[in-house]
């Protein structure tokens, strides 16, 4: 009965559908070869499509799937540049319109559906799966990546196998799979992702003190590097707001300041004072001021030192306000740090209202200061004593500012930097996982990633997707642990089903229909030359004509008989018995 159904299915293009995910197959309804390739695009939640109040209070998009979808978008852009050329070069094996491939790596797993194939172009759609996949997905990824060359079994014994030949058990096991490995080492340009738990990095007071110290030094760096420094030093509103800080006996006794984490805390005055600030940071201020393109007063009683003191106090008070004045505890401290990292500065103290004279003091000094402090704090674990030298610290900050993009993941600048192939990026990620707040320091480095290319039987994909659609839509089986989506290594059932459109599947990213052209592929262009065009053909004919003219001209002027006859300059071959010609060159004995 199964063979009869298979024959009818082949005739009417009606795929066999597994009954509720079991081993019983029934013929489904006829459908066209091209299927489900609608122009679909995943909407990523970021600051460009959410309200400001929602960004500040609810932290939208705080889940790994939404934040990680950008990496599949970047992978789609990389495939757009190389897919058509790689298919023509045979790196994906045999292919046809409607074929489905799976790209598998350590954390990126995506299904690539070839929609249409033309002359020098391929239209495809990419469906990205979860980074932290389910147990079933992990088992199928292991089945893809495991090496079958090590299997030496034959039935119930292990006699081994010939060189470069699979054993009997391995060959039999590979033969009945609905997929095959098309390429074991396929290289694409992408990002390597590393995330560190921020709670473990800031658990003890000493590590928080290091972060606050780098925070203060970063603020001083950005103050001295700003092109508006001279305007700030002359601004009457700023000078009036900082007048109280230079008064004798001034102490800022805000409860957010802590002697355990503030290096310039004055224990005798029980707060922050300008003399204690000078004692701790005057050398760094003078070193940064010495690098300014225009000379600036950098003495201990200069307006520059007072401005740096006011901004550093403001920045730490903003951190305490975001931490609800409980910066001594870890969870509120991380919450406040993340709020400042994404740019949520809430100025509540009347002592800090002078900063509203120029909002660039917040946007160009304090905000990048807290982001740079996080990077310097990460460097502290690899080289704790390296940044004690002001010159080394200054060069490190300048280098990070040029090579590294530090931004919140909800900022559109983060997405733009990834799609622009920025070499390195850093962000502080806040994720709600099982009603628990997790903070991670995410670091990205652009490099070449290795993938395995798996070709999946297209009829298997069609059947599994159709079966899931019938089960969810018509049979109303919405159990997330239903048996029809559990792992089946022979068909990669879980990966195929999860790549279908929602609500049938649950991909974290589905690309729009994307077309890849053979022209941008560098290796194919070197092998086959540029694509033919009327201008290229005309240039080729023109170069050929110039070479012919040059060759004929050289032959006519060479003076040889053969060349002369070829060019029409002689009457034929000369008779060896004829006397030598007296014209032209002189005969022997003549002068």
Interatomic CA distance for residues 103 and 164, integer angstroms = 25
pLDDT at residue 443 in the model: 94
This prediction's pTM: 0.80
Q: Residue 428's Cα: distance from chain center in Å?
A: 16
| 201, 443 contact by CB (below 8 A) | no
Quick one: which of 360, 327, 315 has its CA closest to 215? Answer: 315
Q: Count the residues in the chain.
A: 591
Q: Reduced to 3 states, what is the DSSP secondary structure of residue 418?
A: helix
Per-residue pLDDT tens for 112-127?
999 999 988 999 999 9
Enumerate the H helices of 291-386 as residue ranges.
303-322, 330-341, 360-361, 367-382
Largest CA distance in the chain: 125
For residues 344 and 256, what is the distance between their CA atoms, to the nearest angstrom? 17
| Confidence category of residue 587, pLDDT binned at 50, 70, 90 | very low
* Separation of alpha carbons 508 and 505, rounded Å: 10
pLDDT at 570 over 50: no
518-539 residue pLDDT tens: 988 888 888 887 777 888 889 8
Judge whether 37 and 115 are in contact, CB under 8 Å. Answer: yes
pLDDT tier at 161, thresholds 50, 70, 90: low
Cα–Cα distance measured from residue 289 to residue 281, given in angstroms and rounded to the nearest whole number: 12
Q: How far is CA 578 from CA 244, 258, 573, 581, in A?
A: 120, 117, 11, 9
How confident is the model over 190-206, as a mean pLDDT?
A: 91
* pLDDT attached to residue 565: 42
Q: How confident is the model at residue 219 (pLDDT cuts 50, 70, 90)?
A: very high
Minimum mean pLDDT range among 87-96, 147-156, 217-226, 311-320 = 147-156
Q: What is the pLDDT of residue 559?
A: 53
DSSP assignment of 30-43 equals ---SS-S-------
Q: How many H-runs (helices) and E-runs (strands) does the chain carry?
A: 21, 13
Decide if pLDDT at 282 tops 50: yes
pLDDT in tens, 429-462: 988 777 778 899 999 999 999 999 999 998 888 8
Domain boundaries, the chain: 36-147+176-191+451-527, 206-403
Q: Give the confidence band of 20 by pLDDT, cuts at 50, 70, 90.
A: low
Q: What pLDDT score was predicted for residue 571?
A: 42
Residue 237's CB is within 10 A of a number of other CB atoms, namely 14
Average pLDDT, the chain: 83
Which pLDDT score, from 0 to 100, does residue 582 have?
44
Tell me the CA distances in angstroms from 211 to 208, 362, 381, 383, one per residue in order.
5, 19, 12, 14
What is the spatial distance between Cα 214 and Cα 369, in angstroms, rounded to a whole number?
A: 8
Q: Which two tokens stand for residue 459?
A: 């009829």
Percent of the chain with pLDDT over 70: 82
Closest CA to 312 of 245, 234, 249: 245
Report pLDDT digits (tens) over 340-393: 998 889 898 899 999 999 999 999 999 999 999 999 999 999 888 889 999 999
Mean pLDDT of the region 255-269: 90
């Amino acid at each position: 009965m199964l063979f009869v159904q298979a024959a009818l299915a082949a005739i009417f293009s009606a795929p066999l559908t597994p009954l509720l995910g079991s081993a019983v197959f029934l013929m489904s309804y006829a459908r066209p070869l091209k299927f489900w390739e609608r122009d679909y695009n995943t909407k990523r939640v970021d600051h460009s499509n959410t309200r400001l109040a929602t960004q500040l209070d609810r932290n939208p998009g705080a889940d790994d799937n939404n934040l990680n979808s950008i990496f599949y978008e970047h992978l789609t852009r990389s495939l757009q540049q190389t897919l058509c050329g790689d298919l023509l070069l045979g790196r994906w094996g045999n292919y046809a319109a409607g074929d489905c491939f799976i790209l598998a790596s350590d954390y990126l797993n995506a299904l690539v559906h070839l929609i249409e194939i033309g002359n020098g172009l391929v239209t495809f759609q990419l469906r990205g799966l979860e980074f932290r996949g389910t147990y079933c997905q992990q088992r199928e990824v292991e089945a893809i990546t495991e090496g079958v060359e090590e299997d030496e079994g034959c039935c119930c014994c292990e006699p081994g196998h010939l060189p470069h030949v699979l054993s009997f058990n391995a060959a039999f096991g590979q033969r009945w799979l609905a997929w095959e490995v098309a390429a074991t080492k396929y290289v694409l340009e992408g990002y390597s992702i590393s995330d560190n738990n921020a709670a473990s990095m800031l658990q003890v007071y000493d590590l928080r003190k290091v972060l606050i110290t780098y925070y203060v030094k970063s603020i001083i760096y950005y103050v001295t590097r700003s092109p508006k420094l001279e305007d700030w030093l002359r601004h009457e509103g700023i000078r009036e707001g900082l007048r109280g800080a230079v008064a004798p006996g001034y102490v800022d006794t805000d409860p957010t300041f802590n002697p355990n984490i503030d290096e310039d805390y004055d224990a005798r005055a029980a707060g922050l004072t300008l003399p204690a600030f000078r004692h701790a940071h005057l050398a760094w201020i003078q070193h940064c001021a010495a690098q300014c393109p225009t000379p600036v007063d950098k003495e201990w009683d200069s307006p520059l030192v007072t401005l740096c003191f006011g901004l550093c106090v403001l920045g730490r008070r903003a951190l305490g306000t975001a931490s609800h004045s409980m910066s001594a505890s870890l969870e509120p401290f991380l919450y406040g740090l993340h709020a400042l990292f994404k740019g949520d500065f809430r100025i509540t103290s009347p002592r800090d209202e002078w900063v509203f004279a120029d909002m660039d003091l917040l946007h160009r000094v304090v905000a990048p200061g807290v982001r740079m402090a996080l990077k310097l704090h990460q460097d502290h674990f690899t080289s704790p004593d390296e940044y004690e030298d002001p010159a080394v610290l200054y060069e490190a900050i300048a280098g990070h500012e040029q090579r590294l993009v530090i931004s919140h993941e909800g900022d559109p600048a983060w997405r733009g930097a990834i799609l622009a192939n920025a070499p390195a990026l850093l962000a502080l990620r806040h994720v709600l996982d099982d009603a628990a707040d997790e903070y991670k320091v995410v670091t990205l480095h652009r490099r070449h990633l290795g993938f395995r290319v798996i070709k999946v039987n297209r009829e298997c994909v069609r059947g599994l997707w159709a079966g899931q659609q019938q089960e969810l839509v018509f049979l109303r089986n919405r159990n997330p642990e239903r048996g029809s989506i559990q792992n089946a290594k022979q068909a990669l059932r879980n990966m195929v089903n999860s790549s279908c459109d929602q609500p049938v599947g649950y991909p974290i990213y589905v690309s729009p229909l994307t077309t890849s052209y053979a022209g941008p592929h560098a290796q194919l262009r070197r092998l086959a030359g540029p694509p033919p065009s009327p201008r290229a053909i005309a240039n080729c004919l023109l170069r050929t004509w110039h070479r012919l003219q040059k060759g004929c001209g050289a032959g006519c002027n060479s003076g040889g008989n053969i060349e002369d006859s070829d060019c029409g300059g002689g009457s034929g071959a000369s008779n060896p018995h004829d006397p030598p010609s007296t014209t032209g060159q002189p005969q022997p004995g003549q002068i």
